[in-house]
Structure 1
Amino acid sequence: MGICFSSTPADDDESDSHAHFAGGNVTLITTKNAWDQKLAEAKTEGKVVIANFSATWCGPCKSIAPHYVELSEKYPSLMFLTVDVDELTEFSTQLDVKATPTFFFFKDGKEIDKLVGANKPELQKKITAIVDSQVPTGHK
């Protein structure tokens, strides 16, 4: 399981830095206003939000990003967001993000779970549990 703690980005070519993190049904969040809008939208639609707090310079973030995009396509009933901790530093600090990637799970605007690190099996397990809990009783 990979985790990045450094907040000093390497000198990367930033031109395609976000290309790894968005795609499928993943929305890249670059402003606090966009975050607030998406959480409000999810609440209205009754969707659980999975938010990936990551950094373009973080190796483990890059390695799990394609898996995260796949999950977004597999589970369209959930809302998948990616937040660049370097673009929203103050907001990330408010949520107590100490390492990247950190995945937050929100329901009705409230945090219901959290996962720190690029742990694909654990991320899948948490998402599966959320999806399973959303199935209305009496339906298969």
Structure 2
Amino acid sequence: MRTLTSIEQFNELAESEPVVFMFTADWCPDCRVIEPILPEIEEAHTEFTFVSVDRDEFIDLCIEKNIYGIPSFLAYTNGTEAGRFVSKDRKTKQEIENFLAALAR
């Protein structure tokens, strides 16, 4: 998974390719729980570029995009928000898979 390095990179990726941003933080226990399954999810969904966004480093972006719980997922296709899986709840592999499958419809 790539790591977001700037707001400019966020905007470029959102405009140029199907991308799923995963908002996370080092201190987040729920983020650590899903970390081991992420490579498998990425491998199963090669139609997307997956990018990790450090919530603490990009707090203004989180506020702008209404990301108040982590881990959360925000997807873009053709420069438009295609979907979001945003909540304060722990996510399961199946819930993440369902979210990604819904984007393909």
Shared fold by TM > 0.5? yes
Matched, 1:125 2:89: no
The aligned runs of 1:46-125 (5 Å cut-off) are 48-115=18-85, 116=87, 117=89, 118-125=91-98
Q: Determine helix, strand or coil for the equivalent of 1:97.
A: coil
* Aligned residue number for residue 33 of structure 1: 8
Query: For residue 111 of structure 1, what is the amino acid of its counterpart?
Result: E
CA RMSD across the alignment: 1.5
| Farther off after superposition, 100-109 or 111-120 | 111-120
Distance 1:121 1:52 in 2: 16
So what's the TM-score if we normalise by structure 2? 0.85
Larger radius of gyration: 1
Shift of 1:52: 0.6
So what's the TM-score if we normalise by structure 1? 0.66
Greater share of residues in strand: 2
After superposition, what is the alpha-carbon deviation per residue over 1:76-128, rounded to whole angstroms, capped at 9, x for unaligned? 11111110011111111101111111111222222222113423211101212
C-alpha contact (below 8 Å) 1:30/1:88 kept by paired residues = no
